[in-house]
Amino acid sequence: MTDSERKQTQEVLRAFLPEGAVRSCERFGNGHINDTYLVECAEGYPRYVLQRINREVFHNLHAVSDNVEKITDFLREKIIAQGGDPNRETLTLIPDKEGRKSHMDGEGQCWRLVLFIEDAVCYEQVERPEDFYLSGKAFGHFQRMLADYPAETLVETIPHFHDTPSRLKALWQAVRKDVCGYAGQVAGELEFVAARERECGTAMDMLAGGELPLRVTHNDTKLNNIMFDAKTGDTLCVLDLDTIMPGLSIFDFGDAIRFGANTALEDERDTGKVSLSLELYEMFVRGFLEGCQGSLTDNEVRMLPMGAKLMTMECGIRFLTDYLEGSVYFHIDYPEHNLVRARTQFALAQDMERKWKVMTDIVDKYRT
Ligand code: GN1
Ligand code: MG
């Protein structure tokens, strides 16, 4: 952490906590978008997580904070009504000294402080297949818990977030501009995408035609956005609520498969290691459908495999676009990090094509 980062976080923490409460504040986790810190405090205080919301990504910071506050308030009430522990089962926003659940600093940066959930773990990769089933159930349950939330009161904080055709347009534009001169290098990847261009519009066309309903969706259903209870092994809490927006349920399903049912990490350099684990896919399908408890329409269920493929293609398209644009969006650890990520996504999408029949058969098996 740089000195100025240290100074800045100390200053922000003073807006939330009493003088002398904070012992340390260090970088934490590995999200690609926001900056996250773990805050250790003096005795008598819990631990906290401090986050700076990335304003390059989220242009309407107030709306992001507002969405998160509304959803956590809503979930909190439901959890209490169901006899659960709201401090562990959803995020608890700590108000600043002026009572606001997010804090704007002097430079217009937006920060939030949440309670750290103790005795809980997150996984970057599936360690026990059973955990992936549980994460599916948790995201399905999350979807069902919010089924009666008035979606229209949420702001679409990143317009066209999972609008695959518009992500494609952005890619072709990046190719045309080719600001870094990398386009020649990625001809193979571009060809792969071009061959699937029409398919990329399938879900958005169905939404426009009223064949798929608009729902309140999480939009970043990676395995590492679920917290598990370290003692019981059960799922506890869905994290990373910044991208909650109206969207498609098949995309929440699909993004989870893209990330969690890959036999390799998102940034594995050896694409030979990338494949769709059908065992994990089946686990998640079973969990997700159980968690949704029959709340999905027939079309939604039928389109689940397509949701997985589209999210994988889209994410590859986004990584590739960012690579061509000089990696201005996703945090990277080395210059070609986004290209490596794009390649894993395309390799995974291709493996799904090979396994398509089994993917659809598995959904049929668990459809209720
Ligand atoms: C970003 O910050 P993180 O890692 O949870 C991104 C997702 C991508 C994901 C790829 C707001 O999520 O859409 O799928 O990286 N979030 C945003 O790993 O763009
Ligand atoms: Mg995250």
Q: Which domains does the chain have, with CATH numbers?
A: 3-58+93-118 (3.30.200), 129-366 (3.90.1200.10)
Sign of CA dihedral 25, 331, 307, 205: positive
Mean pLDDT of all residues belonging to the chain: 95
* Residue 147 binned pLDDT confidence (cut-offs 50, 70, 90): confident
Tell me the pairing of strands 48-53 and 93-94: unpaired
Compute the distance between CA of residue 27 and CA of residue 288 in angstroms, rounded to an integer.
32
Ligand 1 neighbour 260 (Cβ under 6 A)? no
Residues with CB under 5 A from ligand 2 (ion): 31, 225, 240
pLDDT of residue 202: 97
Sign of CA dihedral 192, 263, 123, 232: positive
Atom of ligand 1 nearest to the CA of 33: 2
> Mutate which of 221, 222, 319, 341 to test ligand 1's pocket (most atoms within 8 Å of Cβ)?
222
37 beta partners: 27, 50
Ligand 1 neighbour 315 (Cβ under 6 A)? yes
| Cβ-based neighbour number of residue 285 at 10 Å | 26
Check: pTM over 0.75? Answer yes or no: yes
pLDDT of residue 78: 94
Reduced to 3 states (helix: H, G, I; strand: E, B; else coil), residue 304 is: helix
Atom of ligand 1 nearest to the CA of 222: 5
User: H helices within 178-272, ranges in order?
Assistant: 187-194, 202-208, 249-260
pLDDT of residue 148: 87
User: Mean pLDDT lowest for which of 127-136, 269-278, 344-353?
Assistant: 127-136
Burial readout 141-178 (b: 16 or more C-beta within 10 A, e: otherwise)? bbbebbeebebeebbebbeebbbbbebbebbeebbeee
